[in-house]
A and B are shown apart, each in its own frame.
Chain A
Amino acid sequence: MSRAEALQAPAAPDAAAGPGRPNPLWTFGLLRSELVTTVRRWRTLALLGVLAAVPVLVGIAVKIETRGGSTAGPSGGDGPAFIAQITNNGLFLVFTALAATLPFFLPMAVGVIAGDAIAGEAGAGTLRYLLVAPAGRTRLLLTKYTTVMAFCVLATLVVAVSALIVGALLFPLGDLTTISGTRISFAEGLGRALLIALVVAASLVGIAALGLFVSTLTNSGIAAMATTVGLLITVQILDQIPQLHALQPYFFSHYWLSFADLMRDPVYWDDLVRNLGLQALYAAVFGSAAWARFTTKDISA
């Protein structure tokens, strides 16, 4: 219904200056300009640079630690998941890097971009100009959310590709052993790595929607970013408190590390499905809340 209204709204006679009825190509134009603006920002590039550096650090650290032939990590097996297998197969660096960045680095980057989406425009005084164009608020919001989700995929792929390059340079590649002890070919391993990257990107959809909602509440981009990242930290801490176990299945971060279940053979789907369902729920709740807020608020800046 909202889409239909957005289409009808500019059809009013006063929209004569713009195209009579915005066609889908126009929407793509808006999305493209949003994407280009987001990716070209120094802030975005710095975030992606930090993300790309994590696998490099992990890879070099493991390489140095295992130079004498010792195994990686303490013998008890602490540290990020999969870290013990990196020396045998560089592909495991992809999984380790994602496991290391998913709890904090990745969602923080997404929180910054999502928090900035609306509030940043409002703070810079450019939001009203965006709305002067016959785009409609719903469409602008959808474009912003699509941009944030594209950033989720981009950020995850930056981590994965950087890890794959570092892993290939420092460690041998080849057939790999799943954590269930069965063997799969390198090609299938790569396929699973891509699937894991997509699942990790999808895991960030929830916090992206949350960040977008926060962003519609305020006119200060910094406030929205800080709130989103603060919420992330709070939820991550609450997820560690055993007394709150009844609530924890509803925290957006609770099933994040379930992507490791894709490395089991056969794949254990239960937690993966729960994770994706939870992210979809967060996207629906906070996406519609953001829509309700953004389409009704007074735009003064």
Chain B
Amino acid sequence: MAPYESDEATGAGQDEDLHSGRRKAARYVVPVAVVGVAAATIGLVPALADSGSPDLPKISAQQLIEKIAKSDVQQLSGTVKVSTDLGLPDLGGLESSLASGAAQGGDGSSADPTSKLTELVSGTHTLRVATDGPDRQKLSLLESGAEYSLIHDGKNVWGYDSKSNEVFHGTAADSGKKHRAEPPATPKGFADEALKSVDDTTSVTVDGTAQVAGRDAYKLLIKPKQSGTTVGAISIAVDAKTGMPLKFTLTPKSGGAAVLDAGFTQVSFAKPAGSTFDFTPPKGAKVTEEKKDESRAPEHAPKSGEDFAQGLEGANVLGKGWTSIATFDTGAKGGLPSGSEGGAFGGFLGSLGDHVSGKFGKGTVFSTRLVNALITDDGKVYAGAVTKDTLVKAANEGK
């Protein structure tokens, strides 16, 4: 090749000019090629990564459910991605200010697990879980530049919010029910709730195999047989070796993106490092002790996606299976909960819902992609993973 790096002084013929012009243009091929290779890599690698379905021995749905029930994973660590898309109106800052307002109403600590886990209700979150036997668990909610950790170590339950440097401390004895042995946000927690609802109103099939977090898994497909529910299907990926649910996906009947998608992106069944569960409050951190006498009302509990199956505590349940509707009386006249938020907020809520009327009187229906709720003007609430019409019908019959 001719020297063209420092040959400006050299006189070049016409032909050479033409050549070098072409060669100059050719140099721009390099950055374009780099972009092309990068785009191809970004496009192809994920496609190659979930390289179809692994070959696993055939298994019946019944056997698979038994496998899940028998699964006894004591030691585990991994990363879970939870995406929730309930189709709630995006309230942006308002939503978080309401959540923090509720937290302040509780006991004012941002490290309180009940207020913190409410955040999981919308958006995409990355969680880390680690388990070593029934006495030691850790659940961390990864935030940008901060982390919320919930650590259960023997008798102690610690919540640590690194963003505000606040600590919440409870004891496992009196809070054992709330801080369940298994963190509720993992695919296993969701799967257990879903399998509870398996009865004659449900069809359960094995829907092939898949790769989840680099492990071979069976896919269990749960479909409601009844009409009138908003649940389309639930798909659970079950680890072929351990029977541990690795991924849980709930799709609504209306189609579109999954309402709830929780799955491991990385999982290991090795014993987590012991130091993972050690926690001493850092110097200067504000420590809030759990109040023993306080009757923590269930409405403070995280209303996460598991509610769809178990209904609200203390509520009457109408119907059965997938179309069951929880109903309770708020006792509040005027239809909308007139809590601490005040009337202006109630009016704002009212504008979000659809107004309906029937034999039961008048009311407002609040719709999400999964759960619909009807609040009548005399203060009764009907809620369930059912369509609006089913809700109105139930309210009419309930009258």
A→B interface (CB under 8 Å): 5-6, 8-10, 12, 71, 73, 75-77, 80-82, 84-85, 87-89, 99, 131, 134, 136-138, 172, 174, 176-177, 179-183, 257, 260, 264-266, 268, 270, 281, 284-286, 288-289, 291-292, 295-296, 298-299
A/B interface sample: 25 pairs, CB < 8 A: A5-B3, A6-B5, A9-B5, A12-B3, A71-B284, A76-B164, A77-B110, A134-B6, A138-B5, A172-B283, A179-B145, A181-B158, A181-B162, A181-B279, A257-B144, A260-B145, A264-B147, A266-B273, A281-B38, A284-B34, A285-B31, A289-B30, A289-B31, A292-B27, A292-B31
CB contacts under 8 Å to A, within B149-177, are: 149, 151, 158, 160-165
Does B144 lie within 8 Å of A260, measured CB to CB?
yes
Q: B35 within 8 Å of A by Cβ?
A: yes
Sample of 15 further A-B pairs with CB below 8 A, known A270-B265, A284-B34:
A8-B3, A9-B3, A77-B161, A81-B146, A180-B147, A181-B140, A181-B149, A182-B276, A183-B278, A284-B31, A284-B38, A285-B34, A288-B31, A292-B31, A298-B8
A265 surroundings in chain B (CB, below 8 A): 275-276
Does B164 lie within 8 Å of A84, measured CB to CB?
yes
Q: When chains A and B are docked, how far (Å) is the Cα of A8 from the Cα of B7?
A: 12
B145 surroundings in chain A (CB, below 8 A): 80-82, 99, 179, 257, 260
- B119-134 interface mask toward A, CB cutoff 8 Å, 1 = contact, 0 = none? 0000000101000000
Q: When chains A and B are docked, how far (Å) is the Cα of A298 from the Cα of B286?
A: 65
Interchain CB contact (< 8 A) of B275 among A176, A182, A268, A289: A182
Q: When chains A and B are docked, how far (Å) is the Cα of A180 from the Cα of B126?
A: 13
Does A296 lie within 8 Å of B283, measured CB to CB?
no
- B14-44 interface mask toward A, CB cutoff 8 Å, 1 = contact, 0 = none? 0000000000100110110011001000000
Q: When chains A and B are docked, how far (Å) is the Cα of A266 from the Cα of B286?
A: 24
Q: Enumerate the 4 nearest inter-chain pairs by beta-carbon distance, A residue then B residue, closest first.
A: A81-B145, A77-B163, A179-B162, A292-B27
Q: B285 within 8 Å of A by Cβ?
A: yes
CB distance from B100 to the nearest CB of A (A): 6
CB contacts under 8 Å to A, within B277-295, are: 278-280, 282-286
B3 surroundings in chain A (CB, below 8 A): 5, 8-9, 12
Q: When chains A and B are docked, how far (Å) is the Cα of A181 from the Cα of B35?
A: 41
Give the nearest-CB partner of A297 in chain B.
B24
A270 surroundings in chain B (CB, below 8 A): 79, 265
Q: B47 within 8 Å of A by Cβ?
A: no
B126 surroundings in chain A (CB, below 8 A): 268
Q: When chains A and B are docked, how far (Å) is the Cα of A299 from the Cα of B28?
A: 18
Does A288 lie within 8 Å of B278, measured CB to CB?
no
Q: When chains A and B are docked, how far (Å) is the Cα of A46 from the Cα of B146?
A: 33
A134 surroundings in chain B (CB, below 8 A): 6
CB distance from A169 to the nearest CB of B (A): 18
Contact of A84 with B27 at beta-carbon distance under 8 Å, contacts A182-B279, A288-B34 already known: no
Does B38 lie within 8 Å of A10, measured CB to CB?
no
B128 surroundings in chain A (CB, below 8 A): 180, 268
Q: When chains A and B are docked, how far (Å) is the Cα of A73 from the Cα of B273?
A: 33
Q: B142 within 8 Å of A by Cβ?
A: yes
CB distance from B307 to the nearest CB of A (A): 27
CB distance from B46 to the nearest CB of A (A): 13
B→A interface (CB under 8 Å): 1, 3-8, 24, 27-28, 30-31, 34-35, 38, 79, 100, 110, 126, 128, 140, 142, 144-147, 149, 151, 158, 160-165, 265, 273, 275-276, 278-280, 282-286
Interchain CB contact (< 8 A) of B160 among A77, A82, A181, A298: A181
Interchain CB contact (< 8 A) of B6 among A76, A137, A177, A288: A137
B286 surroundings in chain A (CB, below 8 A): 71
Give the nearest-CB partner of B278 in chain A.
A182
Does B284 lie within 8 Å of A88, measured CB to CB?
yes
Interchain CB contact (< 8 A) of A5 among B1, B34, B273: B1
Does B24 lie within 8 Å of A181, measured CB to CB?
no
Q: When chains A and B are docked, how far (Å) is the Cα of A8 from the Cα of B265?
A: 51
Q: When chains A and B are docked, how far (Å) is the Cα of A34 from the Cα of B265?
A: 46
Q: When chains A and B are docked, how far (Å) is the Cα of A80 from the Cα of B144?
A: 10
Give the nearest-CB partner of B92 in chain A.
A242
Q: When chains A and B are docked, how far (Å) is the Cα of A180 from the Cα of B279?
A: 10
CB distance from B250 to the nearest CB of A (A): 22
Give the nearest-CB partner of B38 in chain A.
A281
A5 surroundings in chain B (CB, below 8 A): 1, 3, 5
A71 surroundings in chain B (CB, below 8 A): 164-165, 284, 286
Does A292 lie within 8 Å of B5, measured CB to CB?
no
Give the nearest-CB partner of B164 in chain A.
A77
Does A10 lie within 8 Å of B31, measured CB to CB?
no
Give the nearest-CB partner of A284 in chain B.
B34
Does A292 lie within 8 Å of B28, measured CB to CB?
yes
A296 surroundings in chain B (CB, below 8 A): 24, 27
Give the nearest-CB partner of A287 in chain B.
B31
A73 surroundings in chain B (CB, below 8 A): 164
Give the nearest-CB partner of B108 in chain A.
A75
Q: When chains A and B are docked, how far (Å) is the Cα of A85 from the Cα of B281?
A: 12
CB distance from B148 to the nearest CB of A (A): 9
Interchain CB contact (< 8 A) of A136 among B6, B30, B282: B6
Q: When chains A and B are docked, how far (Å) is the Cα of A283 from the Cα of B1?
A: 27
B147 surroundings in chain A (CB, below 8 A): 179-181, 264
A12 surroundings in chain B (CB, below 8 A): 3
B142 surroundings in chain A (CB, below 8 A): 264, 268
B160 surroundings in chain A (CB, below 8 A): 181
CB distance from A137 to the nearest CB of B (A): 5
Does A295 lie within 8 Å of B34, measured CB to CB?
no
Give the nearest-CB partner of A10 in chain B.
B6
Interchain CB contact (< 8 A) of B282 among A9, A10, A80, A177: A177
Does A136 lie within 8 Å of B5, measured CB to CB?
yes
Contact of A295 with B5 at beta-carbon distance under 8 Å, contacts A182-B275, A281-B38 already known: yes
A80 surroundings in chain B (CB, below 8 A): 145
Interchain CB contact (< 8 A) of A76 among B4, B7, B79, B100: B100
A264 surroundings in chain B (CB, below 8 A): 140, 142, 147
Does B28 lie within 8 Å of A289, measured CB to CB?
yes
Give the nearest-CB partner of A172 in chain B.
B283
Q: Tell which of B35, B110, B146, B273 has the most Cβ of chain A within 10 Å.
A: B146
CB distance from B11 to the nearest CB of A (A): 13
Q: When chains A and B are docked, how far (Å) is the Cα of A51 from the Cα of B335?
A: 57
CB distance from A96 to the nearest CB of B (A): 10
B31 surroundings in chain A (CB, below 8 A): 284-286, 288-289, 292
